[in-house]
Amino acid sequence: MGNIEVSGKWYVVRFWKDVQGQENRVHACERICPVKGSDSLTKTERKRRALELVASSGVNSPEKFIETTFGVTFREQAKKFINQALTRKRKPIKPATVSTWQNCLDKWLDPNLGDMLLANVNNGTMKTLVSNMHAEKLSPKSIVNYTGLAKLVVASAVDENGDQLFPRRWNHEFIDMPVVENQYQPTFSTETVSAIAANAEGQERVLYALLAGTGLRIGEALGLDTGKHISDDCRTLYIRQSVWEGETQTPKTDNAKRDVDLSPALAEMLKAFVGERRVGFLFANGRGTPLMQSNVLRRSLHPILKKVGVQKAGFHTFRRFRATHLSKSRVPDALMKFWLGHANRNVTDEYIKMFDEVKYRKDVADQIGIGFAIPSSAIVRIVRRNEVEVGTAIAT
């Protein structure tokens, strides 16, 4: 209906309306009646008159809404979709997701669909897109990801009641959508993780040991603050934030906010590395800001993998190693999900509260260990603000 307000000597109704050819809505205002005098209206009459004025503008009619939306291109709707997904209150997406989606749009979707009217993006156009991707030898997983984003963009165009303007029943057989099978998901062996730890130097050695011994996501590890997120005995990490592109943000999901317990050997290594520090990021550069993932990959992890004869891989490979070790050690499923920050799958999972089972979690961490060897005579060195802090790494 809009908002009824007093403006000078008049009651007015203020509302937003769409303008064809413009992305942003415009603010409209219509006079209802004088505040005083013979032409003034009661509160109920003012509401009724406001409804009439808004309705007469056509902003609430499905015809008007579709008229202003029908001419929207895929490129325009994609931009609107990402902005809404980033700012919405219900499960807003992370900057990392925005970056991934924007890369998809820039590389494939906008060049192929960008200038097409959103109303015309259907099974036929999607079939052509998939065919082009096949011709360029994109992996099945990439094709599924790119087309999945295109579907989200089409579905994001809704009317004032939240109903899709261009509902689609996607026909994967007609589109010839590839089936994702035997997806390449590298993991590290026990020997590889031990070799990585042995060949790494300084804080990278501690970082790799922590990733493999806890299953933390790289952003979660880089977001650890020595004064906030590590228990006094270094046996527990409190995951409350993450780092992406040098900026802190909330963890990936609500389940990612958790406590992760360390084995005694890993806790001793961490304690020696932390030393007397009680402020600042655990893993930081000379300026005290978080390490950049790309720099660590390029300067440290990838050269080490090449040296030990292992195919290039990313940080998530440590997470798969930890998940495999937990499974091999027969850790209960509920505790695995808790430590890894995975979502619950059923009602029973919701009833299990691992946050309160501190002693049990630590007992399990003691029993299963970390599954790889920490160098027994390694000196962990970190340089920050022209000061060298030295700690001794402890062997398993």
* pLDDT tens, residue by residue, 112-160: 999 998 988 999 999 999 999 999 999 999 999 999 999 999 999 988 8
Q: Is the predicted pLDDT of residue 324 greater than 80, yes or no?
A: yes
Q: Is the predicted pLDDT of residue 182 greater than 80, yes or no?
A: no
The 3 state secondary structure assigned to the chain is: CCEEEEECCEEEEEEEECCCCCCCCEEEEEEEEECCCCCCCCHHHHHHHHHHHHHHHCCCCHHHHHHHHHCCEHHHHHHHHHHHHHHCCCCCCCHHHHHHHHHHHHHHHHHHHCCCEHHHCCHHHHHHHHHHHHHCCCCHHHHHHHHHHHHHHHHCCECCCCCECCCCCCCHHHHCCCCCCCCCCCCCCHHHHHHHHHHCCHHHHHHHHHHHHHCCCHHHHHCCECCCCECCCCCEEEECCEEECCEEECCCCHHHCEEEECCHHHHHHHHHHHCCCCCCECCECCCCCECCHHHHHHHHHHHHHHHCCCCCCCCHHHHHHHHHHHHHCCCCHHHHHHHHCCCCCCHHHHHCCHHHCHHHHHHHHHHHCCCCCCCCCCEEEEEECCEEEEEECCCC
Residue 43 pLDDT = 86
Cα 312 to chain center, whole Å? 24
d(CA 391, CA 40): 80
The CATH number, out of the four listed (3.40.920.10, 1.10.443.10, 1.10.4190.10, 3.40.1440.60), of the domain defined by the range 190-392: 1.10.443.10
Tokens 């609107």 sit at which residue? 80
φ and ψ at 269, to 5 degrees?
A: -65, -45
Helices 140-155, 123-135: axis angle to 10 degrees equals 150
Confidence category of residue 300, pLDDT binned at 50, 70, 90: very high
Share of the chain above pLDDT 90, in %: 60
d(CA 212, CA 6): 64
Confidence category of residue 291, pLDDT binned at 50, 70, 90: very high
| Fold equal for 70-175 and 190-392 | no
How is the chain split into domains, by residue range? 3-60, 70-175, 190-392
Answer for the pair 236, 254: CB distance below 8 angstroms, yes or no.
no
> Kindly report the CA angle at 13 between 9 and 18, in degrees rounded to 5?
140
The mean pLDDT value of the chain amounts to 86
Confidence category of residue 311, pLDDT binned at 50, 70, 90: very high
Answer for the pair 171, 305: CB distance below 8 angstroms, yes or no.
no
d(CA 222, CA 228): 13
**If you average pLDDT over residues 253-271, what whole number do you get?**
92
Looking at per-residue pLDDT, the higher value among 20 and 387 belongs to 20
Tokens 């997983």 sit at which residue? 141
Residue 28 pLDDT = 82
Residue 74 pLDDT = 94
The CATH number, out of the four listed (3.40.50.300, 3.40.50.1470, 1.10.150.130, 3.40.50.920), of the domain defined by the range 70-175: 1.10.150.130
Answer for the pair 242, 250: CB distance below 8 angstroms, yes or no.
yes
Residue 61 pLDDT = 55
Confidence category of residue 58, pLDDT binned at 50, 70, 90: low
The set of residues, in sequence order, having a beta carbon less than 8 Å from that of 132 and lying 6+ positions away, is: 112
Answer for the pair 205, 393: CB distance below 8 angstroms, yes or no.
yes
Report the 10 Å Cβ neighbour count for 289.
13
Q: Is the predicted pLDDT of residue 379 greater than 50, yes or no?
A: no
Looking at per-residue pLDDT, the higher value among 58 and 30 belongs to 30
Residue 23 pLDDT = 60
